[in-house]
């Protein structure tokens, strides 16, 4: 019997709940929605249950962009 080589899995791009994102970037929920209405901030995903999630990679890229612009 031949053995299969071990697969290396890359971790899935974590979907962060909105509360975790707000805490990490230090803003209020009202500020978040103000930014979203203006087309600013990281992109979010609305789940079928209505909850918002932000991909870890999207948040990291957005934070890096803001850091470079400062």
pTM: 0.77
Instruction: Report if residue 3 sits inside a domain.
Output: no
Which spans in 1-70 are helix H?
18-25, 29-37, 56-69
Tens-digit pLDDT string for the chain (70 aa): 566 665 555 567 899 999 999 999 999 999 999 999 999 999 999 999 999 999 999 999 999 999 888 7
pLDDT at 8: 56
pLDDT at 1: 55
Instruction: Report if residue 35 sits inside a domain.
Output: yes
What the block records as the tokens of 10 is 């890359």
Full residue range of the structural domain in which residue 39 is found: 15-69
Question: Considering its fold, how many domains does the chain have in total?
Answer: 1
């Amino acid at each position: 019997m031949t053995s299969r080589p071990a697969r290396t899995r890359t971790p899935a791009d974590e979907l962060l709940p909105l509360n975790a994102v707000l805490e990490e970037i230090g803003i209020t929920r009202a500020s978040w929605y103000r930014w979203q209405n203006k087309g600013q901030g990281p992109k979010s995903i609305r789940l079928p249950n209505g909850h918002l999630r932000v991909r870890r990679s999207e948040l990291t890229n957005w934070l890096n962009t803001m850091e470079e612009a400062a």
